[in-house]
Amino acid sequence: MKALYPGSFDPLTLGHLDLIKRGQGLFGHLIIAVLENPSKNATFTLPERMDQIREATCQISGIEVISFKGLTVECAKKHKVKFIIRGLRAMSDFEYELQIAHTNRSLNKDMETLFLATENQHSFLSSSLVKEVARYGGNVDHMVPKKIANDLYKAFNSDKN
């Protein structure tokens, strides 16, 4: 069985990586679908994000990294996936994620969303927060995989690496 884990992953955090490992453990095959959203001003290009994810997950079997545009349900349908994994950090995430899950289900009645609670030590992490810390020269080594930390330091001209 397989599941889809969609997101922009700009950048991939240790919270994302935790959900990837757990999602793969539940399903055996996890497709990490990296959203190509031209309206967002991403720090890393789509190919860079995909490479970062591939490197961070290279030791985990059953992982596939793809990109997509448009609706998540269409991506899932294209890859013959009926389960979408989404992470929850706090109650504030739940309301938004539930709305998205209901929308996806209204578009495809066969689609199920599985919510995974983020591990406590990662519950404060978001890609936006990580970029903000890196932008102002803070240490992000405990927030993202090492290669991604180095990429962030380079992107924001920090001397942390």
> Does residue 8 lie within any of the structural domains?
yes
Residue 158 has a pLDDT of 62
Residue 159 has a pLDDT of 59
Q: Does residue 40 carry a catalytic annotation?
A: yes
Q: What Å distances lie between residue 99 and 11, 47, 83, 93, 143, CA to CA?
A: 24, 29, 16, 10, 28
Here the tokens at position 5 are: 């884990």
Q: Which of 22, 77, 79, 89 is catalytic?
A: 89
- Cβ neighbours of residue 50 closer than 8 Å, sequence gap 6 or more: 34, 65, 67
Q: Is the pTM of this model over 0.85?
A: yes
Q: Is the pLDDT of residue 61 over 60?
A: yes
> Does residue 107 lie within any of the structural domains?
yes
Model pLDDT for residues 84-137, shown as the tens digit of each residue: 999 998 777 888 999 999 999 999 999 999 999 999 888 888 999 999 999 999
Residue 34 has a pLDDT of 97
Q: Does residue 106 carry a catalytic annotation?
A: no
Cβ–Cβ contacts within 10 Å for residue 36, how many?
16
Specify the number of domains making up the chain. 1
* Domain interval for residue 31: 2-120
Q: Which residue has the higher pLDDT, 123 or 147?
A: 147
Q: Which of 2, 49, 86, 127 is catalytic?
A: 127
Q: Which of 2, 16, 86, 122 is catalytic?
A: 16
Q: Does residue 16 carry a catalytic annotation?
A: yes
Cβ atoms of 90 and 122 within 8 Å: the answer is: no
Q: Is the pLDDT of residue 161 over 60?
A: no
Q: Does residue 54 carry a catalytic annotation?
A: no
Q: Is the pLDDT of residue 18 over 90?
A: yes
> Does residue 106 lie within any of the structural domains?
yes
Residue 5 has a pLDDT of 98
Residue 154 has a pLDDT of 94
Torsion sign (Cα): 143, 147, 151, 153: positive
> Does residue 32 lie within any of the structural domains?
yes
> Does residue 81 lie within any of the structural domains?
yes
Number of H helices, E strands in the chain: 6, 5
- Cβ neighbours of residue 62 closer than 8 Å, sequence gap 6 or more: 24, 27, 28, 29, 30
Segment holding 158, helix H or strand E:
none
> Does residue 139 lie within any of the structural domains?
no
The CATH number of the domain holding residue 22 is 3.40.50.620
> Does residue 90 lie within any of the structural domains?
yes
Average the pLDDT over 3-17 and give the result: 96
> Does residue 80 lie within any of the structural domains?
yes
